[in-house]
Amino acid sequence: MTVRLFIQIVSVIFGVEVLVMLALDDLMQTYPTVSALLDATIVSVSLLICLDLWVFPQIRKAQNEAKDQLRLQETLINAIPAPVFYKNELGVYIGCNKQFEAYLGRPREQILDRSVFDVAPEDLAEIYHKADMDLIIEGGSQIYETVVVHADGSKHDVMFHKAVFEKSNGLVGGIIGVMVDITQRKELENKLEELASHDTLTGLSNRRDFDARLEQALARSQRTQTQLALLFLDLDGFKDVNDNLGHSAGDQVLQIVAERLTNIMRKSDTAGRMGGDEFAVILEGSVTRDTAALVAEKVLAELASPYTLNEGAVSHLSASIGIAFAPDHGTELDTLFANADRAMYSAKDQGKNRFAIASDDALTTTISETSHN
């Protein structure tokens, strides 16, 4: 663009074309070198005007659009009713929503630019970090259950949903994750599991769970070449409690029996209710006949103590116990139960309130009896 043309355009804009052009002609005739200098100046001025009129507005528009996009993303993430976080490829937090801050009980200043080792107990941080690094290496997405500890120390069961995101160059940029609280679901699952494996009245193992535990105990006994004992007991006179005091009183008696058995048993032992007024106990850990007899004596003494019920009534009961040992009296659940059951009925036939041990010849079901006085 020549100086003359540029000035003419500007003059037209401001309505002083004739005067300006006459002055310009006079100046350029008098000082010819001024023309070249003005040409360079005009180019620079033209560039600045172009930048100011078109380029800079476009840049500002793009910046504003980017800011709007970031605000939209932030609003969107904060609107998600679940904790959301994102980390870089090194596992450092680079963003999160307000729900994530609330779930951890920490402000974002204590989360961003930090790793899981700064916001979680070390044992859990190791789990999170390993999962993150596996995801970074393998790519794709990841789902797993674990525990998250709040800043106040409370623990929550959660399910992590994670996925990698990529940079503009195609390389992995990091991880974005969402946490779903499953604490109530886990509590319900545990409760259902408890109901499925435990007697609802006494809290002891039910027959199904007890059988499973006995199968496991028998397998351990065979593997370690050690002996275990199965005590099978039936309450003496329980029918009279139900008939004379009612089923509510009978239920209270069963609960007291369960409590007394629990107090006698070691942590390695298992007590269960087989149904009605029948109970069973597994004794593990190289149990001898003498130690099993001592336990049976304690059980008989405890169960023979008076039962004070809620209505103020006092009941007096006893128990008959049959004891069978594995492997001497069987290595299979049914065989061991059958021999312990026969021993129990023999003790009952011999006067009750006593225990009996199955003979070494389990096939003949001969019983040696010991009374409790």
User: What residues are annotated to the active site?
Assistant: 277
In angstroms, what CA-CA distances link 110 with 115, 155, 287? Answer: 10, 19, 56
The kind and range of the H/E element at 184 are helix 183-197
Residue bearing tokens 């980390």:
87
The kind and range of the H/E element at 122 are helix 122-138
- CA pair distance 266, 262, nearest whole angstrom: 8
DSSP 109: G
- Write the single-letter amino acid at 365: T
303-330: b or e for each residue (b if 16 or more CB lie within 10 Å)?
A: beeebebeeeeebebbbbbbbbbbbbbb
Token pair for 154: 């409370």
Strands (DSSP E) found in 92-241: 93-96, 141-149, 155-166, 172-181, 228-236
Contact 280, 202 (CB under 8 A): no
Q: Quick count: other Cβ atoms within 10 Å of Cβ 276?
A: 12
